[in-house]
Amino acid sequence: MKISFQGEPGAYSEQAAFDYFGSVETVPCESFESVFDSVVSGKSDAALIPIENSLAGSIHQNYDLLLRHDLHIVGEYFLRVRHCLIANPGVKMKDVKKAISHPQALGQCAGYLRSRGVKAEQAYDTAGSVKMLKESGARDAAAIASKRAAEIYGMEILEEGIEDNPENYTRFLAVQKEPVVPKGEAKTSIVFTLKNVPGALFKALSVFALRDLDLTKIESRPLQGKPWEYLFYIDFVGSMHDETSRRALDHLGEYALTLRTLGSYPRFKG
């Protein structure tokens, strides 16, 4: 089985792919767009994409890509993100003047970097920053990435667990061409639009409250081509194949201008 992810080998997304799918062949992709294209074209069987981080919030680009592609969410996974400060062999902590990494990783370690007087410099990927550092041979810089990235590129870890908050988790979604029928406790992700009239969102959300369906996530995104109008993404506990959830979605369809179910999938139990 081939699983695509964004980043270089050793990225957190690749680690999540191994954790979730098991023994698979991973397909590194430079961008999130190419991750989706890889599944659509059949170059990979599925993909694992980050959708939100417990500290930094949602990855909005992937919400937009879920809407643009005819793929289904088939699972979710929560990864505990543990950042390491990584350098070329022989480099000491006192030598490090700057740290390079993905903007989100830099933000999650901002307090640590400030306390040591280290300047942050953005890169496109955590594992990619380790690869760049190795290729440059720089002795005054370090990268922030996973322990596995350091092992892959033969680099040294100066310090582990440098994130400012230990409650640092990233939620990933597994996507593929064919949907699944989840067994046991499930979640469903949907996206819809509404008329811009008073009470529209209240009525939309009431279809879940009336049936005691738990909403675990709500996100609004701009509706392209229509300034100041929005798409609403919702995750709720339940499967579209259950009668209660079906009735809620049918009821929502009475208010929504458009409604699409992105997938029903097993709820992750950490």
**What residues are labeled active site?**
170, 172
Instruction: Round to whole Å and give the CA distance between 254 and 203.
Output: 10
Task: Give CA 223 to chain center in angstroms.
Answer: 21
Instruction: Round to whole Å and give the CA distance between 199 and 177.
Output: 36
67: phi > 0 → left, psi -120 to 50 → alpha, else beta; which?
Answer: alpha
Nearest to 187 by CA among 95, 251, 262: 262
Contact of 53 with 59, CB cutoff 8 Å: yes
Structure tokens at 102: 């993905």
Structure tokens at 263: 């997938």
Instruction: Round to whole Å and give the CA distance between 28 and 87.
Output: 23
Q: Exposed, middle or buried by CB within 10 Å (0-12, 13-18, 19+), for 82? A: middle
